[in-house]
Each structure stands twice: as C-alpha cells, then as structure tokens.
Amino acid sequence: MKTDVLVIGSGIAGLSFAIKVATAKPEASILVLTKSNNDVCNTAHAQGGIAVVLDKVRDSFEQHIEDTMKAGKGLSDPNVVKLVISQAPDRLNELINWGTSFDANELGELELGLEGGHSQKRIVHHRDLTGKEMETKLLQKAGSYSNIIFHDHYFVTDLLLKKDRSAISCTGVMAIDRQKDELVSISSGITFLATGGSGRIFQNTTNPSVATADGVAMAHRAGARISNMNFIQFHPTALYTKNKHSLFLISEAVRGFGAYMVDQTGNRFLFKYDLKGELATRDIVSEAIMNELQSSGEESVFLDCRHLDPEAFRSHFPTIVEHCLSKGINFEKDLIPIVPAAHYQCGGIQVDHFARTSVNNLYASGECAHTGLHGANRLASNSLLEALVFSHQAAGIVVKELDSIPAQELQEEKVYQLKQTGNKEIPKNFEKELNQIMTYNLLYTSEESEKKNAILKLRVLEENLKKLSGKIDPEFFELKNMIQTAILIVEQAIENRFFEKKECAIKPGNPKF
Ligand code: SIN
C-alpha cells in the first residue's frame, strides 16, 4: 500500500488533521489507520469539554494563559500557551461548522462550565458527552471526503525509516491487518501520529483499553526525542470499583457544578490543602486524596452531590447519573466513592510549533505529543483544544510541503502470515505485573532508589517478553510498547526530579533540534 499522508489514530487530533489536508489538497491520498473500530479512542471518552475564552467581559486570553501556566507549575512553554489559547475561538468555530453541537442557554449563547484550576467559566460542552459528540461529527465529516480512506483493525507495529547520513526520515509503517492476520508494509510521504496516551500502563486508569502508548514507543524506537513522560496526570475523581483497573470517570465538571469532596466522616478536607478547595487543580486534589487515604487507611473518599438541584444535575450529567445508578449509587441519596486514576500523559513525542517531530516527515499531535502546553500538570479541558491547534498547525505546513516530498518508492511490499499466540492469558499476566509496578506512589512519592528498582523490574519484564519470540500479535506489541514506555516514564521521573519545583531556571523538554 502507498499513500501521500498516513494518519495513525482516529481521535480528534488525527481526524481534524485529515479533514484539513483533504480540504486543501483534494488530489492527495490520505489513509487513516486505527487499531480497533474508528470510534474507539480517548477523544470519545472526554466528558468535560473544551476550554475557550468566549466571555470577553469577565474573561480574557490573559487569564486563561495564567491559569494554564499555574496548573503546569511554571513548566509550560509560554509561547505555546499563547499560541494555543489565542486560537481557541477559531478552532471551536470550525468544530461547530463541521456539525458539532454544544449546550446553549435560552438566549442561544454557548453555556460555559467551570472546572478545577480555571479562574472563570470557560468550558464549552455537550452535556457529559462532549468527546463522543465531537468524535461522531468528526467521523461523519471525514467520511464525506473521497480522498480520506479508513482502514480499521490495523495495528501499526513500527515506523519505516530511511537514514541519510545523520538525518532520519520516516517513510511509512509496518502494520498488522488484524482481520487477515497479516503483517504488511505501507509507504507514505507524511506520517502523522495521533495515537493517544498510555493510561493502561498504570494500576488504575480512566482510559479506554486502546491507550497503550503505541505512538510514543514506536517513535522512541525510531530515535525521536521524547520528553516529560514522568508528568502523568492522575484525575482525582474516578469511580472507585474494587479490584478494577479501568475506572469510570466522574467529570471534573461535577465539582465545577458544586459537588463537595468529603472523607468517610463527611468532612470537606480539601481546604486543608488549597484555598480553592474542590476547584484546586488535579495534581493538588489527587495528592490530597492520596494523603488522606494513606492516613485513614480507607479505600476511597467521596463526592457529595446530595445538596445539588437534582433536575439540573441529571440534565447536565445524564451518563454519570446512569452509570452510578447501574452500580447501585443514587447521587440524590448516596455518596459517590472515588479515587485518583491515571488520566493523561502530559509529556510525549517532542514536537515544534508545527507538530514536527525530530524525525523528518513524522508529525505528532494530541496526547502522544509533547508540545509544551501542559508543563507538569494539564489544566482541565485544555487537551482537546491542544489537539485541534497542533493538528491545524501541522496541516498548514503539510499542505505547503507535500508536493516537495519525494514520492516514496513503494518499498517492496512485504506481507507475512502471522502465527496465533493461542494463549491470551500470557499478555494479561504481564500486564498485571506492569500495573503493579506503575503506581501513583512510584511516580510522585517514592525515593530515587525505589524508582531505580522499578526500572530493573521493568527490564526483567521486557526480557521475559522477548523470550516469547515468534508470537507476534497486537497484544504482544501493545505489551512491548507499554513496558518500553513505562521505562521511559520512570527514567524521566528520575531525570526531571529537580524540575518539579515552581520556579526553575532550566526547563525540561525544550526542543533541541
Ligand atoms: C473531565 O471531564 O474531568 C475530563 C476532561 C479533561 O480531561 O480535561
């Protein structure tokens, strides 16, 4: 197979990029690969919304910039923060023009929600299903272009590279066609990674099962620069479910709507940690919960929504209400048990302002990329925005440069028939071991010696996985990607330990290419 533009991943980053290139260059062929169904991605799980300054009386770009810098503990790149926030109204209008609908008030004005770390109401949303609404409309829009082709159930295993003296260029990928059980090569002029995050590495996560760090791991193997992987954001309010790894998210917008966070005695403990209480940023709230749990020995703290207007709550959060009810929790009467869970990877494949990685013809956008926006901790509802802006930036340059990229000679097409692994228990056991190592405490409270010890354990896991040679199927590649990325995360946690303070002279993650 051969294509001008290859997009890996079908969330907001990949689809908005594909739509823009397809519009500007109807003659270019664009292939979108996804490893599952094309609507299975982190975007579809985003509940809260997208942060945009629309109320120019109370709010301003400057305030949104300040909130983002504060949440990122001073480690965000101010130029990137400005770039992203100033483009937000334009990117939002594009989404609306592509068919996305957002909640409006009786006057027809977009309704703005509040979330932790924001000094003003500025979250544009579609009830508690914002990501799903966006994903559905983006898929419809992308599907209307004859030059965008989707191949789902294609698992990309590695990037194809051309080395020319010191320069490395990406020329396509190897991918498993899961329906045929074949490994195939795909040549491309431009390769665009929009592969999402890495939540499944961790003991608890709000992410869907596809979040296995594939993009970061394959870019790393290709020699691309990867930065700030240790800054994994834990969302404070995942629904606590005993012995469960993947946890249902209770949106931050619920606290923005007025929910309290309490311990088992009903005490609102967050004010001990931050004057903003429930509206402190996620890192502060998660740390506070972990502290409380450690001293109380309890398994969860709680969200208390019993004082809120039940009708309004139901209409804003229908999915959350339904899900809680299905678990026997009625928000009008019961406290909702919650714990922090890995939610978002703030670091990733280092990119410049046009989403270019350090490998030629390889771009990255969305959660797999490190743009410099989030610093040490992402401000709520800035991620969909970041993906839109960097995909827009990339599309602008790809459209200009595509013609000058020498057409990739169709590398001799390779097709291999794959062996089935047979035993699906093996990957599950490896993943369990990985999850046991990769905890909140390892990243945020452990000593350097414990981190080094964790790296040793991860290397043993990697070696043991290698011994299962010949068993190449997507589950094994996912495990390899997760283990390699886990090593990067812990290594960068050791390297970046001096930079977590608020004011530091040298910042990690500045592009060096
Ligand atoms: C949420 O609704 O709390 C998640 C949205 C985000 O991660 O910004």
Predicted confidence (pLDDT) per residue in 293-305, tens digit: 999 999 999 999 9
How many angstroms separate the CA atoms of 321 and 331, rounded? Answer: 7
Which tokens sit at 416? 């291999």
Phi, psi of 170 (to 5 degrees): -90, 130
Task: Give the three-state DSSP class for 498.
Answer: helix
Which tokens sit at 64? 């949104």
How many angstroms separate the CA atoms of 217 and 371, rounded? Answer: 17
Ligand 1 mean position, distance from CA 407 (Å): 41
How many angstroms separate the CA atoms of 502 and 284, rounded? Answer: 13
Phi, psi of 488 (to 5 degrees): -60, -40
By alpha-carbon position, which residue is closest to atom 5 of ligand 1? 48
Which tokens sit at 53? 């300054």
How many angstroms separate the CA atoms of 52 and 196, rounded? Answer: 22
Q: Which residues of the chain fall short of a pLDDT of 50?
A: 501-513
Give 302's Cβ-side CA count (13 Å radius).
18
Identity at 51, one-letter amino acid code: A
Q: Are strands 182-193 and 2-8 parallel, antiparallel or unpaired?
A: parallel
Which tokens sit at 207? 């992410």
Express each pLDDT in 407-466 by its tens digit.
Answer: 665 555 666 666 655 566 677 889 999 999 999 999 999 999 999 999 999 999 999 988
Among 43, 125, 134, 252, which is best to mutate for testing ligand 1, by the most ligand atoms less than 8 A from CB? 252
Give the position, in ligand 1's atom list, of the atom nearest the Cα of 47: 2
How many angstroms separate the CA atoms of 79 and 62, rounded? Answer: 12
Residue 245's Cβ-count burial label (10 Å; 0-12, 13-18, 19+) is middle
Please, what are the domains in the chain? Answer: 2-230+346-407 (3.50.50.60), 236-342 (3.90.700.10), 419-496 (1.20.58)
**How much is the pLDDT for 421?**
55
How many angstroms separate the CA atoms of 48 and 319, rounded? Answer: 12
Active site residues: 282
Ligand 1 mean position, distance from CA 211 (Å): 16
Ligand 1 mean position, distance from CA 243 (Å): 23
Per-residue burial over 90-102, b = 16 or more CB atoms within 10 Å of its CB, e = otherwise: ebbeebeebebeb
Ligand 1 mean position, distance from CA 239 (Å): 14
How many angstroms separate the CA atoms of 217 and 412, rounded? Answer: 25
Torsion of CA 273, 278, 282, 287, to 10 degrees: 30
Phi, psi of 155 (to 5 degrees): -105, 115
Give 49's Cβ-side CA count (13 Å radius).
31
By alpha-carbon position, which residue is closest to atom 4 of ligand 1? 48
In the structure, which protein residues have their CB atom closer than 6 angstroms to any atom of ligand 1?
A: 46-48, 251-253, 344, 380-381, 383
Nearest to 283 by CA among 343, 242, 366: 343
Number of DSSP helices (H) and strands (E) in the chain, helices first: 14, 18
Beta strands in 88-136 (DSSP E): 112-113, 123-124
Express each pLDDT in 116-132 by its tens digit.
Answer: 999 999 999 999 989 99
Task: Give the three-state DSSP class for 53.
Answer: coil
pTM of the model: 0.93
